[in-house]
Amino acid sequence: MNHALTSAAISIAALNKWYGNFQVLKDINLVVAPGERIVICGPSGSGKSTLIRCVNRIEEHQAGSISVNGIELDESLRNLDAIRREVGMVFQHFNLFPHLTVKENCALPQILSRGKRRKEAEEFAMHFLSKVRIPEQAEKYPGQLSGGQQQRVAIARALCMSPRIMLFDEPTSALDPEMVKEVLDTMIALAEDGMTMIVVTHEMGFARKVADRVVFMEGGEIVEINEPNRFFDDPKQPRTRHFLSSIMH
Amino acid sequence: MTITDTTPILGRPALATPPRRSRKPVVHVFFGDLAATSLTVATGFLLLSMIPAINWAVFDANWTTGDPATCREGGACWAFIAAKFRFIIFGVYPPDQQWRPLVVMGLIITMVLASLSPRLWGRKLAYGWVAAIAAMLTLMWGGVLGMALVPTSSWGGLPVTLLLALLSLGLGFPFAVFLALGRRSKLPVPRLLSILTIELVRGLPLVGLLFVASILLPLLLPAGWTIDKLGRTLAALTVFAAAYLAEVIRGGLQGLPPGQVEAAKALGIPGWKTVWHIVLPQALQKVIPPLTNTAIVMVKNTSLVLIVGVFDMLSASRVAATDPLWPAPYVESYVFVAAIYFVICFGISNYARWLESRVQARTYR
């Protein structure tokens, strides 16, 4: 295995995926360096969510290879488990566990998948809830919180597992406009701490400010990858230009 | 208009409290329109037609009597219930040993009360139940600790009804969870086995299942093997309960958004722990009303065991009414037994409503 691949945080090579006969991912190649922040954008149905969901096998791919911090995502359950330890994920619809309090949401996964003691898990939970600035909501249930607060809990829950890479699947798309900022601020703080991040989002302001590289996808393929200033000011591909003109108003 | 004027633009002061709804006059409520009038009249007739029944049951009834033969003249013979109370409740259980089923019922009530609050649900309570059930069966059976042995053929009445209902639901529930999970499994063998079991049992009437268990099963077993008749009946009820509960639980599993399992996967929670801690609690909460329904139906289904000769409360009341000393007071017997069933089922139903309101109080989405 060559050195560049093993030192990469995530390396995706010749990735293909089909739903039935419909090809959702076509020959995707992407290498993410440790500490790098990648923003993936593109029209809906372009395969961007599917791509990051393949990284921790929430979705299965049919051809190509994915490795995370040198661990190959193959049929071995041990590798899958190891990769899921490295990777945290934040979903569009939060996916908090509604029957558990905020604190339990953060503590229980640590107990169940890492075998931590309850006391330690709860301390960890409170630490990260403070970090996303909602420790006072710890005893409430997710349904009692606003969307922005729920998404911050979801981020805290993922951070409790001490991931080295975070995947964000349209984290602000289900939020009311006035709540987008609090979630983006949390993500910016995370980026400043040096977390490796892949963010699927339509928040172009965030992309410009935080991303090291922006990936544009359409029709299941990567159309263009560039650093943000060049991507927004001087896109190379006509499809990118067309997409940008349709979302910038 | 001065500057201090705070009148809103529409010209009326803003209301600090919601406006009070004006009450309708009583006459209007009962005779307001055609629908209300016809309902009032119909209800009136229904109430009038019930007067003879009420007279029979209350005003003309005999509550005590010195002579059983004349007890039924005029009204209901409740004196019969007083005289046969012990028999209906305990059946043919040896009278000098009837403190044992009494203690069993006390245990059942204590354990049920102790299990009401979900806050106490946990491993300790589960062990408590196992110990309590073992104690109940020991008490009923006897043969140890100086208690005389009472074979299951002599058990009877309310304890049998309660034990059958409790054990068939309690033993059926874990099976039901496995059947429901199996039916949704991607693996073909568990899925087909689950579907086969559920559909087979649901396709048979409970009476048929009870006959199979009580008559066919002993014939099929190798010579010398016997399983107690009450045990066989319980097995049939358990299988029946499991099939119905499984379909209810499956409904809850299907209502669970896929994001829940995805989140658990992303957090690296192992599969069976996800099922136990994330999937099942939510799925079961969603199906409290139909679970209650099945529980109530199963309590009443236990009365069907009388056709295979198990002496439950309904059987006991029928036998009590055949006593030639009394003027065949079947109606009184049945009304009394119905009242006991009603109290149990109404209790279950109210408890379930309370559980639901507790769930809603957390504003689940």
Cα of A108 vs its chain's centroid, Å: 21
Q: What is the pLDDT of residue A83?
A: 93
Burial B91-130 (b: 16+ CB within 10 A, else e): bbbeeebbebbbebbebbeebeeeeeeeeeeeeeeeebbe
Of A84, A93, A114, the CB nearest to B266: A84
CB contact under 8 A, B266 and A142: no
Quick one: which of A138, A107, A102 has its CA closest to A123? Answer: A107
pLDDT digits (tens, 9 = 90+) for A17-70: 999 999 999 999 999 999 999 999 999 889 999 999 999 999 999 999 999 998
Output the furthest CA–CA distance in chain B (Å, rounded).
105
CA-based nearest residue to B260, from A139, A40, A142:
A142
Whole-model pTM: value is 0.81
Structure-token pair, residue B71: 């007890």
Pair of tokens at residue A50: 């599917």
**In whole angstroms, what is the distance from residue A3 CA to residue B305 CA?**
74
**H/E segment holding residue B272:** helix B271-274
Per-residue pLDDT of chain B (365 residues; tens, 9 = 90+): 445 555 556 666 677 778 788 777 888 888 888 898 999 999 999 999 988 888 888 877 777 777 777 777 777 788 788 778 888 888 888 888 888 888 888 998 898 888 888 777 878 888 988 999 888 888 888 778 777 888 877 788 888 888 899 999 999 999 999 999 999 888 999 999 999 999 999 998 998 888 888 888 777 777 767 777 888 889 899 999 999 999 999 999 999 999 999 999 999 999 899 999 999 999 988 888 898 889 899 988 888 888 887 888 888 888 888 887 777 788 888 888 899 999 999 999 999 888 888 877 765 54
Tally Cβ neighbours within 10 Å of residue A172: 24
Which amino acid would we find at residue B199? E
Judged by CB atoms closer than 8 Å, whether chains meet at A58 and B267 is answered as: no
Are A91 and B262 an interchain contact pair (Cβ–Cβ within 8 Å)?
yes
The strand pair at A10-19 and A63-68 is best described as antiparallel
Contact A58 B282 (CB under 8 A): no
- The CA distance from B98 to B95, in Å, is 5
Whether A227 has a pLDDT exceeding 70, the answer reads yes
| Other beta carbons within 10 Å of B346 | 11
Task: Give Cα B88 distance to the centre of its chain.
Answer: 20
Which of A58, A81, A96 has the CB atom closest to B266's CB atom? A58
A144-182 pLDDT tens trace: 999 999 999 999 999 999 999 999 999 999 999 899 999
Q: Give strand pairing partners of A67.
A: A11, A72
Tokens of A123: 């301390």
Residues B310 and B312: their CA atoms lie apart, in Å, by 6
> Residue B365: its pLDDT value, please?
43
Check B263 against A97: CB less than 8 A apart: yes
- 3-class secondary structure, A43: coil
What pLDDT score was predicted for residue B80?
A: 80
pLDDT value at position B16?
A: 77
Please give the helix or strand (H or E) that residue A18 lies within, else none. strand A10-19
Supply the pLDDT for residue A3. Answer: 46
CATH number of the B85-363 domain: 1.10.3720.10
Cα(B202)–Cα(B239) distance, integer angstroms? 10
**A157, B267: Cβ pair inside 8 Å?**
yes
Residue length of chain A = 249
- Provide the mean pLDDT of chain A: 91
pLDDT of residue B120: 79
| Beta-carbon-side half-sphere exposure of residue A179 (alpha carbons within 13 Å) | 14
- CA-nearest residue to B278 within chain A is A97
Residue A197 bridge partners (DSSP): A37, A166
Q: Is pLDDT above 70 for A190?
A: yes
Note whether A158 contacts B267, CB cutoff 8 Å. Answer: yes
pLDDT at A249: 63
List A218's β-bridge partners, or say none: A221
Residue B363 confidence (pLDDT): 56
Task: Answer whether B350's CB lies under 8 Å from B117's CB.
Answer: no
Q: What is the DSSP-derived secondary structure letter of residue B57? A: I
How far away is chain A from the Cα of B75, in angstroms, using its nearest Cα?
Answer: 55
Distance CA B342, CA A42 (A): 62
Looking at the complex, report in whole angstroms how far the Cα of residue A141 sits from the nearest Cα belonging to chain B.
6
State the pLDDT at residue A231.
Answer: 92
Degrees (nearest 5) of the Cα angle B98, B99, B103? Answer: 125
d(CA A138, CA A102) in angstroms, rounded, equals: 5
What per-residue confidence (pLDDT) applies to B5?
A: 54
Domain-wise residue ranges, chain B = 85-363
Assess contact for A144 and B362: CB atoms under 8 A: yes
Give the H/E segment covering residue A196: strand A196-200
Q: What is the pLDDT of residue B24?
A: 76
Q: Which residue of A has its CA nearest to B257?
A: A95
Q: Which residues of B touch A (CB under 8 A)?
A: 257, 259-260, 262-270, 273-274, 277-278, 281-282, 285, 362-365
ipTM above 0.95, yes or no: no
- Best probe of the A interface among B186, B267, B280, by most A CBs < 10 A, is B267
Q: How many residues does this entry show for chain B?
A: 365
Task: Classify the C-alpha dihedral B297-B303-B305-B308 as positive or negative.
Answer: negative
Which among B257, B269, B363 has CB closest to A113?
A: B269
CB atoms within 10 A of CB B309: 11
Tokens of B174: 């874990």
**What is the rounded distance in angstroms from the CA atom of residue B86 to the CA atom of residue B93?**
10
Task: Test B282 with A87 for CB contact under 8 angstroms.
Answer: no
Within its chain, how far is the Cα of B115 from the centroid?
15
Q: Are B325 and B67 in contact (CB under 8 A)?
A: no
Cα–Cα distance, B272 to B267 (Å, whole number): 14
A73-102: b or e for each residue (b if 16 or more CB lie within 10 Å)? beeeeebbebbbbbbbbbbbbbbbbbbbbb
The residues, ordered by sequence, that sit 6+ positions from A122 with a Cβ below 8 Å of its Cβ are A103, A107
